[in-house]
Amino acid sequence: MKRQKRDSNHRAFVKGYQIGVNGRASDHCPHADGTPLSREWIRGWQEGRDDQWQGYNTSTCQQKVVSI
């Protein structure tokens, strides 16, 4: 039985979140500007930055990524 791949939008969001929570800049986005994947990545990055600014620790962020 083949394993289904996760949704590419979800993967882009999670990758953006991980970059944002680590405090890196949004210009690390690997997707072309204006694409749906780019928008999801930026949305994840913004949420990650918000969580970092609110003082969430690493384990809390990891739990959040798993539940997303």
3-class secondary structure for the chain? CCCCCCCHHHHHHHHHHHHHHCCCCHHHCCCCCCCHHHHHHHHHHHHHHHHHHCCCCHHHHHHHHHHC
Is it the case that residue 2 has pLDDT exceeding 60?
A: no
Check whether 64 has a pLDDT greater than 80.
Answer: no
State the pLDDT at residue 5. 66
Residue 1: predicted pLDDT: 46
Contact 42, 26 (CB under 8 A): yes
pLDDT value of position 44: 92
Residue 42: what pLDDT?
94
Q: At residue 3, does pLDDT exceed 60?
A: no
